[in-house]
Amino acid sequence: MSTPYLDGVRAQADNLRRSADVVAAALSGGIGSRMVETVRRGLTLTCGMGASTHAAVGFAAVLRAAGRPAIAVSAADLAAGVPAGLAATVLGVSQSGRSRDALHHPGVPARSSGDGGTAPDRAAVRSGPGSAARRRARRLRRGRRAHHRHPG
């Protein structure tokens, strides 16, 4: 194994602690009450790419332990979209903030007033500062929907 790989493995405990602190801080404010409201709507589908898939699996397990329906998938599983009505919320998880498929859900339609409520809410979580997910979370805290353009 290469030294950078081993350093990454050894850093995971600190990364998880930092992520837990960031999520706890975010959930203690207004975004926390909106997140609770969102997960009460129905099934939450969490997704991540690579190692972040494991964080998505853990988050889904915590939701289930709290009595909330949740499943986790790889973001690659969402490339063809999410079947209508499967999930009330799709939550992307990315440790680095660079996992475009996990954060932007290109196969998941944006909810609109004309969709009859079938498209899921979309959200993203990441552990470090300065990422697209962090900017998106700030927009959500201000009460705005986070919209992104996707190529193609």
Domain edges within the chain: 3-141
Q: Which residue has the higher pLDDT, 101 or 35?
A: 35
Residue 148 has pLDDT above 60, yes or no: no
How far is 83 from 78, CA to CA, in rounded Å?
Answer: 10
Domain 3-141 has CATH 3.40.50.10490: yes
Report field, pTM of the whole predicted structure over 0.75: no
| Mean pLDDT (the chain, rounded) | 72
92, 75 contact by CB (below 8 A) = yes
